[in-house]
Structure 1
Amino acid sequence: MSDDKLVIATHKHVEHLKPSDRDEWYRVAGGTGLRLLVRKQGGKYWRLKYRFNKKQKTLALGVFPNVTLKQAKDATIKAKAMLADGIDPGDTKPTNENDNSLRFYAAKWLEYQSQATARTWSEDHKARVWKRLENGILKKLGDKLISDVRKEDVRRLIENVEAKGHHETAKRIADDTQRLFEYVVDQYSLEDDVDIRLLRPVKVISKPVVHREALDINNLPFFMQDLANYTQTGRELTALAIELLILTFVRSGELRGARWEEFDLDNKVWSIPAERMKMKRPHEVPLSAQALDVIKRIKRITGHYELLFPSETKPDEPMSDNTMRQAMFKMGYFPKAKDTKDGRVAKTYLKYQDNAHYPDGRLKEKAVPHGFRTMASSTLHESDQKFRSDAIERQLAHVEQNKVKGAYSHKAEYWDERVEMMEWWGAYVQSSDFA
């Protein structure tokens, strides 16, 4: 599409643009020269086309949504003022080849990032980020020209960190590296000089640490069939609770305590108040089409109660924290009998051992309700959908210790990406074809 066939006029218009099979240029209304580049790999980049000294040039003005349409327009006005004074607004690149190193750009990115997040980045945090980058990739790659840094080199170094058991550090190095290269492309217009694969998350080969017994994602189709069969002998509401837990991957206690007043089904959002959250911060869950369908089925059963999942014997209290765990046990998701130490548990195992194997004869793994968070997190991080780690962690309601409390809107953080992510996840769970 040529840049004179489609004109951007509103913020919503920018939000709705999707990548195609090629890079696309879009013209911003007003005749200012401002353009939006939508890369086929994903990402929306503001660019200003202008002439200086009889040469056609392009100035990078940032990436959407970090830079809004209004901010890009304001930056365009400033650049035009510089041009009127005979100054090239794009004259910001390093002036010698030594300054084209990865280390140089890493330092520039760190300074930019610390200024942009001054409220939440202390000097100590800034030092920790630099040390993490230095030990992770800069010792080996820092002196290389930015154009010579390949994704394979970065991945290998991050995998070395992962192999030592430093899973969280490896993930943060990967995230920082992606942001660094996004900054280089945005601020220095070097998209033709860098390995653009580094604009995507760097995925490591080794698996992340599993904190709770989690279902293998490849066995999810079998589990969903078991869940459907469970209603023949078990309580339907329990099966629906497990299904909604998978679709929303909230904590078990947050699901069991859910109240109807927290749900805005018209706007497809579940707002959990701070007092019910582990981190004591309000949390919003975008509701996929699949989640909405489950909620409507639940409403037919418990819509006349305050709670979605009331106890069977005490309807003014939530279902027991052991209800879903016991249902999964009865479905066969428990350890081998020889792994148990209590005779009663072993006897219970024998009662349900006929359910302990998959249709192909494999022994089922042990899985618990909280493990669905691990399953969802791993799948989203490793998917080819390019979901940012920060968006995934925000949807998991994970909060970094160094973030300032209460100074921003939690719903606003990566909201559009989280909505898209939850819709993708809902469709993924619903489908039994994961090829």
Structure 2
Amino acid sequence: MENDVFPRIGSRLVGELTAPDFLRVARRIEERGAIESAHRIMQNCGQIMRYAIATGRAERNPVADLREALPPTQKRNHAAIVDPVELGGLLRAIHSYRGTIVVQTALKLAPLVFVRPGELRQAESEEIDLDAALWSIPASRMKMKQAHLVPLARQAVDLLRELQPLTGRGRCVFPGGRSVKRPMSEAAVLAALRSMGFDKSTATGHGFRATARNLLDEALNFRPDIIEHQLGHAVRDPNGRAYNRTTHIAERTKMMQQWANYLDKLRIAPMAD
């Protein structure tokens, strides 16, 4: 908003803004090839206009008129490594990374818990019970808007215990470099992967979810419904009712520990000649 919107329309009265005003902003973003950013920024502008209407500052939302004016975004799958040998190499690189301790820990934890990147970086201390080895993510931070329970393997608990003395006991488990009151940047893990030589077509923070989904099924033979539960996806019983967050928790706890052990095995396996 500070780079693309405020310099062009930030000084204008919100009730005077028109669809062409917003379209000119979007076109400048498109010109540098950032189509997805143009869509996201227009979504933010639309939210502002809806608030302006609700508070009597504007009578209509002109951003809604741009629906057909912006080029569509291309849906892309997040890059993920699903070959065990290649995954072992990625894990070794992660454990050799020499960035900040916060980013190091987030990188090591990401494949163990395979939550969405935003759910990981925004983790709060009060959500995690290390003695019970459970992480309870509130519904407000979940994509499906349902509270989610993540059993923590021994390896995950050890990582979080090692982090505590270094970051204190503040609200954020992974505080940012500029303020301990705010979580680390959403780009931190991605930037670390890039610095290790893994480009966007090879590995992403979100890709650990696809890695887990594939290998938990193909290599460790866990039931697909158990895996989907742990991914935080909507899974329903034969009557169409959604399961709650504690469903199959014993099996999921077992699965998470076996998954962590499997990752350790891949990481310490001797590299092929």
Match of residue 416, structure 1, among 250, 254, 263: 250
Q: Is 2:194 aligned against 1:329?
A: yes
2:225 maps to 390
Match of residue 234, structure 2, among 399, 404, 418: 399
d(CA) in 2 for partners of 1:227 and 1:301? Answer: 19
1:307 maps to 172
Q: Is 2:215 aligned against 1:379?
A: yes
Root-mean-square deviation (CA), in Å? 2.1
Residues 229 and 235, structure 2, Cα contact 8 Å, conserved in 1 = no
Amino acid corresponding to residue 369 of structure 1 in structure 2: G
d(CA) in 2 for partners of 1:280 and 1:390? Answer: 19
d(CA) in 1 for partners of 2:111 and 2:95? Answer: 14
d(CA) in 1 for partners of 2:216 and 2:187? Answer: 27
Give 3-state SS (helix, strand or coil) of 2:105's partner: helix
Amino acid corresponding to residue 421 of structure 1 in structure 2: M
Shift of 1:400: 4.5
1:260 maps to 125
Runs ≥4 residues deviating over 3 A: 400-405
Q: Is 2:260 aligned against 1:426?
A: yes
d(CA) in 2 for partners of 1:217 and 1:277? Answer: 29
Written as runs of structure 1 = structure 2, the 5 A alignment for 1:223-234 is: 223-231=90-98, 234=99
d(CA) in 2 for partners of 1:409 and 1:327? Answer: 35
1:45 maps to none
d(CA) in 2 for partners of 1:244 and 1:380? Answer: 17
Shift of 1:308: 0.6
Q: 1:388 to 1:226 in 2, by over 3 A?
A: same
d(CA) in 2 for partners of 1:245 and 1:227? Answer: 10
Give 3-state SS (helix, strand or coil) of 1:314's partner: coil
What's the CA shift string for 1:126-155, capped at 9, x where partnerless? xxxxxxxxxxxxxxxxxxxxxxxxxxxxxx
Q: Is 2:83 aligned against 1:212?
A: no
Q: Is 2:203 aligned against 1:367?
A: yes
Written as runs of structure 1 = structure 2, the 5 A alignment for 1:19-418 is: 211-215=77-81, 216-231=83-98, 234-334=99-199, 366-383=202-219, 385-400=220-235, 403-404=240-241, 409-411=244-246, 413-418=247-252
Give 3-state SS (helix, strand or coil) of 1:376's partner: helix
Amino acid corresponding to residue 380 of structure 1 in structure 2: L
d(CA) in 2 for partners of 1:430 and 1:293? Answer: 13
Q: 1:219 to 1:273 in 2, by over 3 A?
A: same
d(CA) in 2 for partners of 1:225 and 1:433? Answer: 10
Amino acid corresponding to residue 217 of structure 2 in structure 1: H
d(CA) in 1 for partners of 2:165 and 2:87? Answer: 26
Give 3-state SS (helix, strand or coil) of 2:175's partner: coil
Percent of residue pairs bearing the same amino acid type: 38
d(CA) in 1 for partners of 2:131 and 2:111? Answer: 22
Shift of 1:242: 1.2
How many residue pairs align between the two structures?
Answer: 191
d(CA) in 2 for partners of 1:410 and 1:304? Answer: 26
Shift of 1:228: 2.5
| Unaligned segments of structure 1, at least 5 residues | 1-209, 336-364
d(CA) in 2 for partners of 1:410 and 1:369? Answer: 23
For the pair shown, the structure with the greater C-alpha radius of gyration is: 1
- TM-score if structure 2 supplies the norm length? 0.65
d(CA) in 1 for partners of 2:189 and 2:240? Answer: 33
Residues 112 and 260, structure 2, Cα contact 8 Å, conserved in 1 = yes
Residues 228 and 235, structure 2, Cα contact 8 Å, conserved in 1 = no
Residues 237 and 298, structure 1, Cα contact 8 Å, conserved in 2 = yes
d(CA) in 1 for partners of 2:101 and 2:240? Answer: 41
- TM-score if structure 1 supplies the norm length? 0.42
The structure showing larger relative contact order (alpha-carbon pairs under 8 Å, at least 6 residues apart) is 2
Give 3-state SS (helix, strand or coil) of 1:284's partner: strand
1:47 maps to none
2:28 maps to none
Shift of 1:225: 2.2
2:18 maps to none
d(CA) in 2 for partners of 1:288 and 1:387? Answer: 16
- Which structure is higher in strand share? 1
d(CA) in 1 for partners of 2:133 and 2:95? Answer: 25
What's the CA shift string for 1:272-331, capped at 9, x where partnerless? 111111111010011101111111112122232211111110221111111100000000
d(CA) in 2 for partners of 1:230 and 1:284? Answer: 29
Shift of 1:212: 1.0
